[in-house]
Every structure is written in structure tokens, then in C-alpha cells.
Amino acid sequence: MRNYWLRKILAVPLILLVASFLIFWAVRLLPGDPARLMAGMQADQKVVDSVRSRLGLDKPFAIQYEIFLRNVLHGDLGTSIRSHKPVAEEIAERFPYTLALTTVSFALAVAVGTTAGVFAAIFNGRAVDHLVMVTAISGASIANFWLALLAMNLFAVRLAWVPLLGANSWKSYILPAITLALLPSAVIARMCRASMLDIIHQDYIRTARAKGLSTAKVYVNHALRNALIPIVTIVGMNFASLLGGAVITETVFNWPGLGRLMVDAVRYRDYATIQGITLLTVAIVIAVNFAVDVFIGLVDPRIRFD
């Protein structure tokens, strides 16, 4: 088992190196010229060329990558051509907002999704089950930005119960968190139901009942605990990718997180920022994968990574 973790840890720098190259290369494959975008539509070619040279984009690809890599190793992710700030500083400013929104909405999604899934499994085939499943399918199918706009119009513009823009108070979290939680809670509810249905017919559940354990204990301690494994994996991966920024939700709610930063960076071909956010996302995915592995080990002692 120690070897397993050792191998995993040693692979991290290699993954990051390969990822950094792929990101650096892929960003430059995007059509669109950062120098033209920075200089604007009314700039003449001479000015566009001098902007390009200032940004160092007239250098050969290999040299640009070497400079990037050397800077990253010194902790410098480059400077944003849009905000003229170090990318690391820019990310540090935005990441807390994304982390907070993602955490709140995932807590909501897990709470709602698991509860709904467990109830649907317990009342399998009955009205509660159908209600949960229809709601879950609707939740997964509705375009969340559309629902978000309707909710904003009603709750923020007409009723003025919550603020419309930004992240100024706890009330600002209500609409974006619900919007973001919609899809994962639907997915969790469906997975949880399927997983629970599979488990509540197992022998050990019958044994637990036969021992005279209360129904709640049987479902929560025995069934749910085992049903959690596939759910944790899915939730972990979704959570990790959303930490890179929930692009649509953040744009609709004018949320000052990484998702909006990424949209702006792509729009203006701000290479350094795109690279920085993507590298951070890769690092987060690796870290969350680790966490999921550990968590699964804790939940199910039979699983060991030898």
C-alpha cells in the first residue's frame, strides 16, 4: 500500500509537466491573435506588431515554453495581459469566491440528493419514488442558466428578496448556489437511489434487520454507507471540475470567481491566465482524486490500494 501512494505522489510532478505542455500548446492552437485583441479593431498593423513583440509572442514556441516553465518553477504564472496583474495574484483573488460557491452548492446537492435518493429507494415504486425521479430528471434536463434568469427576475428584480449581482452578502449565495446545485443533486439522487436499491436486497441488510436494528440504523449505517462509494467518486470529480470555475453560473450571476475570469481570458486570448487557471484545475483534480481514494478507503475497509 505504501508503494501505491508513493507511486501516486511521484507521478504528480510528471502529470503537471505533461499537462503544462499540453495547455501551453493547446492555448496557442486557438485561432485569434492576442496582440490584435489587445490593440483593438482600430489599431494599425505596426502597432499590433509592437504589442506582439512586447508580449513576447513573436518568439519561437520552444523559447516561449522554456520561459513559461522556468517562471512556473519559480512560482510565477506570468502576468495577465488583460488586468496587468500577476496571474497567481489574480487567481488568489478569485478562487475563494469559486471555492465558497462550489462548497455551498455541493453541500446542498449532497444533502438534497442523498435524502431524496434514499427516500426514493425506500419507497421504491410508490408515489414518493416517482416524484423524486421526475424532479431529478427535470433538474438534470432544464438549462440552469434559463432557470437562473427567471429566478433572478422574480426574486431579485420584482420581489427584491436577494441581491442581483456579485457576492456581497450571504444572501448573494442563495440563487447561484441553488442553480449550481440543481444538476449534481439530480445526479446524486438518481445514483443514490440505484445504489441503495441494489444494496437493500443484500443478505447483510436482511441480517441487520433480523438482529432487530431499527429501520433508520439499517438504512443509514448499513445501506447508505455502502451505497456511498460510487456517489463519492462522482461527487468528487464534479466538485473538482467545478472548482476550476462554474463558467455559466458565474457569468449569469456576475460572480467574481474563476469561471468568469476564464471566460474573459479566453475572449481576449489571455494565454497566461488560461494556463494558470487550467494548471490550477489539474492540480485540484489530482488532489480531489487523492481525497476520494482516501475517503473510499475509510468508508469501505475492504478497498485497499496495493
**Which residues between 30 and 59 bind other proteins (CB under 8 A)?**
30-33, 36-48, 50-55
Pick the closer one to other proteins by CB: 40 or 126.
40
Residue where the block lists cell 510528471: 14
- Taking CB under 8 A as the criterion, the residue among 93, 140, 247, 290 binding other proteins is 93
Q: Is 160 exposed, middle or buried (0-12, 13-18, 19+ CB in 10 A)?
A: exposed
- Taking CB under 8 A as the criterion, the residue among 17, 63, 267, 305 binding other proteins is 267
Q: Which residues contact 70 (CB under 8 A, 6 or more apart)?
A: none
| Binding-site size, other proteins (CB under 8 A) | 74
- Taking CB under 8 A as the criterion, the residue among 8, 122, 247, 264 binding other proteins is 264
Pick the closer one to other proteins by CB: 120 or 148.
148
- Nearest alpha carbon to residue 204 among 176, 188, 225, 185: 225
> Rounded to an integer, what distance in angstroms lies between the CA atom of residue 155 and that of residue 133?
27
> Rounded to an integer, what distance in angstroms lies between the CA atom of residue 193 and that of residue 30?
42
By CB under 8 A, tell whether 235 contacts other proteins: no
Pick the closer one to other proteins by CB: 190 or 253.
253
Residues 196-225 binding other proteins (CB under 8 A) are none
Q: Phi and psi at residue 79, in whole multiples of 5°?
A: -115, 140
Q: Which amino acid is at 115?
A: T
> Rounded to an integer, what distance in angstroms lies between the CA atom of residue 157 and that of residue 164?
7
- Taking CB under 8 A as the criterion, the residue among 251, 296, 297, 300 binding other proteins is 251
Pick the closer one to other proteins by CB: 62 or 160.
160
Tell me, what DSSP letter sits at residue 167? S
Residues 94-153 binding other proteins (CB under 8 A) are 94-97, 99-100, 103-104, 107, 149, 152-153
For residues 143 to 182, the per-residue mask of contacts with other proteins, x marking binding by CB under 8 A and - elsewhere, is ------x--xx--xx--x--xxxxxxxx-xx---------
Residue where the block lists cell 492540480: 283
Q: Phi and psi at residue 30, in whole multiples of 5°?
A: -60, 130
> Rounded to an integer, what distance in angstroms lies between the CA atom of residue 138 and that of residue 297?
34
CB of 64 to other proteins, least distance (A): 17
CB of 278 to other proteins, least distance (A): 14
Pick the closer one to other proteins by CB: 10 or 157.
157
- Nearest alpha carbon to residue 191 among 242, 142, 140: 140
Pick the closer one to other proteins by CB: 1 or 160.
160
Residues 13-32 binding other proteins (CB under 8 A) are 30-32
- Taking CB under 8 A as the criterion, the residue among 9, 17, 67, 92 binding other proteins is 92
- Tell me which H or E stretch contains 264: helix 258-267
Residue where the block lists cell 468528487: 236
- Nearest alpha carbon to residue 270 among 104, 30, 66, 43: 30
By CB under 8 A, tell whether 254 contacts other proteins: yes
Binding segment for other proteins among 76-84, 113-121, 196-204, 227-235 (CB under 8 A)?
76-84
Pick the closer one to other proteins by CB: 94 or 190.
94
